[in-house]
């Protein structure tokens, strides 16, 4: 275990922790006393049918997902019981940096998107007795989990909204994630995963941040100096004053656990590699919501999958911030689009 105050309740809470016990992973290995950090908003109704599940994206926690909810929003806690769950490896749920031996730091086992969704299923059924989900919605790796939910539990999930993510990760996206991984593991301070603190891997984390700067935004974002949305005064400051500090405090093993998982997100693992069959299983009404300027989950990749989902629509989100549009730095311009589509989806009878 490594002390890292970044992941504290002060920074990312308040959140609660649920122990799902020893958790068997798909690729082998066990997380003993596996813990899921989660947070809820609103109240579960008597019918237990007003549940919205929100998983988290790469490097993100449930804290940032709070941007997506509000009393005047589609994800309204006065109406819905919203359960946000931190993915395994994100630093709040069981993760390399916060796990004891024998799975501490470099010894943490490989985790898949499917493991997350099985663990989340255990949490919401055991803890809340929930058997029906009105909506699963998530961005990026949260979209991967959303697809996994819809395919794995087709009778349970009534609606799904994967934003800026795919059901089966692409070769291009795998390569992109490789460059992120290599930026970290090429740092001598990484030392095969055995370091004293994130600071030992600072140079690698900074390079990792710069690769995000290239692929995570858009060419137009920089041309129009939209980094101003992030309260910085120059492109340089966006890198050195925002993106690099943002990632530099995170635990490298935690990031790598998520990156490995991200690379292998694939619902067709449930159907022997047949993506059409896997997506054909979905019973939920699905809105596939790519971001128009996304450089690694481009709309055409998402649209190809949407066409394989029986009861689905393509709803493209416009954001000059590209993949980072997810951060909602554009404010109402972005959230109004999200809310419009989610309202339409939630109003759909299923």
Q: Which residue has the tokens 């891997």?
A: 201
Q: Does 246 bind a second copy (CB under 8 A)?
A: no
Near a second copy by CB under 8 A: residue from 221, 287, 324, 327: 221
Q: Phi first, then psi: what are they for 195, rounded to 5°?
A: -130, 170
Crossing angle of the two packed helices 252-263 and 202-215, in degrees rounded to 10: 40
**Nearest-approach distance from CB 109 to a second copy, in angstroms:** 24
Q: Which residues pair with 52 in a beta bridge?
A: 82, 135
Site string for a second copy, 290-309 (x = CB under 8 A): -----xx-x-xx--------
Residue 192 makes contact with a second copy by CB under 8 A:
no
* 110 annotated active-site: no
Q: Are strands 81-85 and 51-55 parallel, antiparallel or unpaired?
A: parallel
- Give the Cα separation of 120 and 279 in Å (integer): 20
Residue from the set 64, 203, 270, 308 that interacts with a second copy by CB under 8 A: 203
Catalytic choice (93, 140, 218, 319): 140
Asked whether position 324 contacts a second copy by CB under 8 A, the answer is no
Q: Does residue 323 have an active-site annotation?
A: yes
Q: Select from 141, 213, 326, 338 the one that contacts a second copy (CB under 8 A).
A: 213
Residue whose tokens read 């690769």: 211
Name the one range near a second copy by CB under 8 A: 107-115, 172-180, 191-199, 283-291.
172-180
Does residue 263 interact with a second copy by CB under 8 A?
A: no
Choices 22-30, 133-141, 182-190, 337-345; region in contact with a second copy by CB under 8 A? 182-190
Counting contacts by CB under 8 A, is residue 178 touching a second copy? yes
DSSP class of residue 242 equals I
Helix or strand or coil: residue 227? Answer: helix
Considering only residues 15 to 74 of the shown chain, the ones binding a second copy according to CB under 8 A are none
Binding status of residue 230 toward a second copy by CB under 8 A: no
314 makes contact with a second copy (CB under 8 A): no
Stretch that binds a second copy, among 7-15, 55-63, 205-213, 252-260 (CB under 8 A): 205-213
- Site size for a second copy, by CB under 8 A? 35
- Of 300, 301, 299, 292, nearest to 322 by C-alpha is 292
Q: Tell me: does residue 222 bind a second copy (CB under 8 A).
A: yes
Q: Does 10 bind a second copy (CB under 8 A)?
A: no
The angle formed by the CA atoms of residues 222, 225 and 231, to the nearest 5 degrees, is 115
Distance of alpha carbon 150 from alpha carbon 116, whole angstroms: 13
Residues 6 or more apart whose Cβ sits within 8 Å of residue 245: none
In the residue annotation, 140 being an active-site residue is answered as yes
Indicate whether 130 belongs to the interface with a second copy (CB under 8 A): no
Is residue 332 at the binding interface for a second copy, with CB under 8 A as the rule?
no
Binding to a second copy by residue 321, rule CB under 8 A? no
Q: What's 165's DSSP letter? A: -
H helices present in 195-321, as ranges: 202-215, 219-223, 235-237, 244-248, 252-263, 275-280, 299-306
The minimum distance between CB 185 and a second copy, in angstroms, equals 10
Q: Rounded to an integer, what distance in angstroms lies between the CA atom of residue 293 and that of residue 281?
A: 29
For 158, the token pair is: 């009534």
Residue (89 or 322) nearer to a second copy, CB: 322
Peptide bond into 14 cis (omega under 30): yes
CA distance 262 to 256: 10
Residues serving a catalytic function are 140, 294, 323
Q: Which residues bind a second copy (CB under 8 A)?
A: 170-173, 175-176, 178-179, 182-183, 186-188, 203-204, 207, 210-211, 213-215, 217-223, 235, 239, 295-296, 298, 300-301
């Amino acid at each position: 275990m490594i002390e890292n105050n970044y992941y504290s309740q002060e920074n990312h809470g308040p959140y609660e922790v649920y122990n799902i016990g020893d958790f068997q992973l798909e690729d082998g290995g066990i997380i003993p006393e596996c813990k899921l950090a989660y947070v809820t908003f609103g109240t579960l109704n008597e019918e237990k049918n007003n549940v919205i599940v929100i998983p988290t994206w790469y490097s993100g926690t449930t804290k940032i997902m709070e941007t997506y909810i509000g009393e005047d929003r589609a994800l309204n806690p006065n109406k819905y019981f919203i359960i946000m769950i931190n993915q395994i490896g994100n630093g709040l749920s069981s993760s390399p940096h916060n796990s004891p031996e024998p799975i501490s730091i470099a010894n943490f086992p490989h985790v898949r998107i499917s493991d997350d969704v099985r663990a989340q299923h255990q949490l919401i059924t055991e803890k809340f007795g929930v058997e029906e989900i009105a909506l699963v919605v998530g961005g990026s790796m949260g979209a991967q989990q959303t697809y996994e939910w819809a395919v794995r539990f087709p009778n349970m999930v009534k609606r799904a909204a994967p934003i800026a993510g795919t059901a089966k990760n692409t070769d291009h996206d795998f390569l992109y994630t490789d460059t992120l991984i290599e930026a970290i593991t090429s740092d001598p301070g990484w030392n095969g995963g055995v370091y004293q603190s994130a600071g030992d891997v600072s140079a690698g984390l900074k390079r990792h941040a710069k690769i995000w700067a290239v692929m995570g935004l858009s060419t137009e974002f920089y041309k129009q100096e939209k980094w101003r949305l992030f309260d910085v005064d120059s492109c340089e400051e966006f890198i050195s004053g925002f993106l690099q500090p943002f990632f530099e405090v995170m635990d490298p093993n935690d990031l790598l656990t998520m990156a490995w998982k991200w690379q292998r997100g694939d619902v067709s693992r449930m159907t022997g590699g047949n993506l059409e069959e896997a997506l054909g299983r979905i019973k939920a009404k699905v809105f596939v919501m790519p971001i128009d300027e996304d450089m690694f989950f481009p709309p055409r990749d998402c649209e190809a999958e949407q066409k394989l989902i029986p009861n689905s629509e393509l709803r493209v989100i416009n954001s000059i911030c590209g993949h980072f549009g997810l951060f909602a730095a554009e404010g109402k311009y972005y959230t109004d689009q999200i809310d419009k589509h989610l309202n339409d989806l939630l109003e759909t009878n299923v």
